[in-house]
Amino acid sequence: MSRDRFLSDAARVAGWIADYRERLPDLPVLARTEPGATAARLPAAPPEGPQPLEAILADLDAVIVPGLTHWNHPGFFAYFSSSSADPGVFAEFVAAALNVNAILWRTGPAATELEGRMMEWMRRFVGLPEGFHGVIQDTASSASFTALVAARERALPGTRDEGLAATGASARPVVYQSDQAHSSIDKAAVAGGIGLANVRHVPSDGRFRMRPEALEEAIRIDREGGRTPVMVTATIGTTSSTSVDPVEAIADVCAAHGIWLHVDAAYAGPAASLPELRPLFRGWERADSIVLNPHKWMMTPVDCSVLLFRDPEAFRASLALTPEYLRAEEAASNLSDIGLPLGRRFRALKLWFLFRWYGADGLRSILRRHVEMARAFRDWVERDPRFETAAPAPFSTVCFRAVPPEGGGPEDAWNRRLLAAVNARGRVFLSHTVLDGRFTLRLAIGSAWVREEDVTAARSELETVFEDMTTKGADAC
């Protein structure tokens, strides 16, 4: 492959990306496609002969783009809005070209050490004290699972060797989290052999925050039954409503009982960089492990989840294994000792590019702007009699619902219909949750690409559909 050919191909690909970005605001943000439609347009077998780059890029336009939900669309307000700004996109391009696989320090010394340094930058950025180390994982699911395996070994030493079956049913491990915690913590308990029945979903209060006295009570009952508390997960910014557990009080409970405290700040974590929001994070510095995702609210392409922790040895003791063919001469820490995967992409490059491209101050400005946009939207919801808020909105996500007009039928059905109709229009994409048993709409702001006019569009789409439903009847919309 010649230099000229590479450069001209790269220019062609960059041109495709630039074109895509230009028409992105005009594309429907939520894919307008049926299950199976894209697959039907793809051959069942690979071609035997080579095809030119032009043909591949043409099919990107013809076959793939029409079937995509566009995460970088400025009207993407669903789930947690995430985006890939330029520094991360370029870093991925470079990382793919380098193809460094930092299994061991030796197989990627600079990749290993840059990752360590970026964890330190992240620690400082979010205002955590010294004493935290970190590694990058693909997702919060993997990060929380890794933490759970370390906590499991600490609570039940020897599990690594003997397995959980040796524990016995009466001493079985138990984990705790609020009834608002993310499903990934449940999944981690399933994967780690702890079992869903041994996950205590501690009741939350009226603002969707774990009740520490209920946690204490659950632990007491389990202890009396001979069971083994393994880990408590506190969440700062739950996925459903972005509620904030009382981490300080939960940390007290964990300290009193010697239980591993894991803090899930996958979404909200980067907001700890804002002094005005820092109080929401009180107590998280007492955690044994914390997860926060730059690929959520920090404009980094998926995947980049940061796992911070106090005791690297607890992780190594639970999972590290070094076969002969991976033994190296030098004494250096290997990233793959912490976590399940052995192979490791050069993801630290994304954080390095990101921090330098924007600067810490630039990143804070963007986050602050997102918070302000969310507050403006919330204020509108509170002012408009057709809508009401459904939960506090401490970060950049607003939970709300429509109040059906006289004769509009049940609230849940009205809101489901409203959401489906808004999303079908293609200008914005919102998602939902259920709070207090009631269907609830969510608008999450967090993209590098979001503009004031996009939040205004969300508002006017909601208003338009609401009025249509009122005039024509919900079933007609």
Subset of 164-223 contacting a second copy (CB under 8 A): 164-169, 171-173, 182-184, 186-198
Interacting span for a second copy (CB under 8 A) from 8-16, 255-263, 308-316, 387-395: 8-16
Residues of this chain, 102-131, that bind a second copy according to CB under 8 A: 103, 105-111, 113-114, 116-117, 120-121, 124-125
Asked if the bond preceding 303 is cis, omega within 30° of 0, the reply is yes
Shortest Cβ 416–a second copy spacing (Å) = 9
Q: What is the DSSP letter of 440?
A: E
Nearer to a second copy, 212 or 432 (CB): 432
Residues of this chain, 13-32, that bind a second copy according to CB under 8 A: 13-18, 20-22, 30-31
Among positions 131, 163, 226, 279, the unique one binding a second copy when judged by CB under 8 A: 163
Calpha distance 155→151 (Å, rounded): 6
Shortest Cβ 387–a second copy spacing (Å) = 19
Calpha distance 314→209 (Å, rounded): 29
Nearer to a second copy, 386 or 416 (CB): 416
* Paired residues of 388 in beta bridges: 401
Shortest Cβ 2–a second copy spacing (Å) = 9
Nearer to a second copy, 202 or 251 (CB): 202
Among positions 26, 224, 276, 329, the unique one binding a second copy when judged by CB under 8 A: 329
Shortest Cβ 447–a second copy spacing (Å) = 9
Nearer to a second copy, 152 or 154 (CB): 152
Calpha distance 346→399 (Å, rounded): 36
Nearer to a second copy, 342 or 376 (CB): 342
Helix, strand or coil for residue 402?
Answer: strand
Residues of this chain, 218-277, that bind a second copy according to CB under 8 A: 239-240
Residues of this chain, 443-472, that bind a second copy according to CB under 8 A: none
Nearer to a second copy, 158 or 279 (CB): 158
Residues of this chain, 343-402, that bind a second copy according to CB under 8 A: 343-345, 349, 352-353, 355-362
Residues of this chain, 34-93, that bind a second copy according to CB under 8 A: 34-39, 42-51, 53, 55-56, 60, 63-72, 78-79, 82-84, 86-90, 92-93
**Residue in the structure block whose two tokens are 């933490």:** 147
Shortest Cβ 163–a second copy spacing (Å) = 3
CA distances from 19 to 25, 61, 66, 67, 241 (A): 11, 10, 14, 17, 36
Among positions 132, 145, 309, 466, the unique one binding a second copy when judged by CB under 8 A: 145
* Dihedrals phi, psi of 446, to nearest 5 degrees: 180, 10
Among positions 229, 246, 301, 404, the unique one binding a second copy when judged by CB under 8 A: 301
Among positions 209, 295, 370, 459, the unique one binding a second copy when judged by CB under 8 A: 295
Shortest Cβ 420–a second copy spacing (Å) = 7
Which two structure tokens, joined as six digits, stand for 86?
């330029």
Calpha distance 395→371 (Å, rounded): 6
Among 154, 371, 133, 382, which residue's Cα sits nearest to residue 271? 371
| Number of residues lying near a second copy (CB under 8 A) | 165
Residues of this chain, 411-450, that bind a second copy according to CB under 8 A: 420, 431-434, 442
Nearer to a second copy, 240 or 289 (CB): 240
Shortest Cβ 8–a second copy spacing (Å) = 10
Calpha distance 244→150 (Å, rounded): 24
* Dihedrals phi, psi of 83, to nearest 5 degrees: -160, 165
Nearer to a second copy, 139 or 204 (CB): 139
Q: Within 126-158, where are the H helices?
A: 140-155
Interacting span for a second copy (CB under 8 A) from 243-251, 315-323, 368-376, 452-460: 315-323
The 228-235 sheet, strands edge to edge: 133-137, 305-309, 289-292, 260-264, 228-235, 173-178, 199-202
The 387-389 sheet, strands edge to edge: 387-389, 397-402, 438-444, 431-435
Label residue 187 exposed, middle or buried (CB < 10 Å: 0-12, 13-18, 19+): middle
C-alpha triplet 401, 404, 405: angle, nearest 5°: 145
Helix, strand or coil for residue 81?
Answer: coil
Q: Is 10 in the site for a second copy (CB under 8 A)?
A: yes
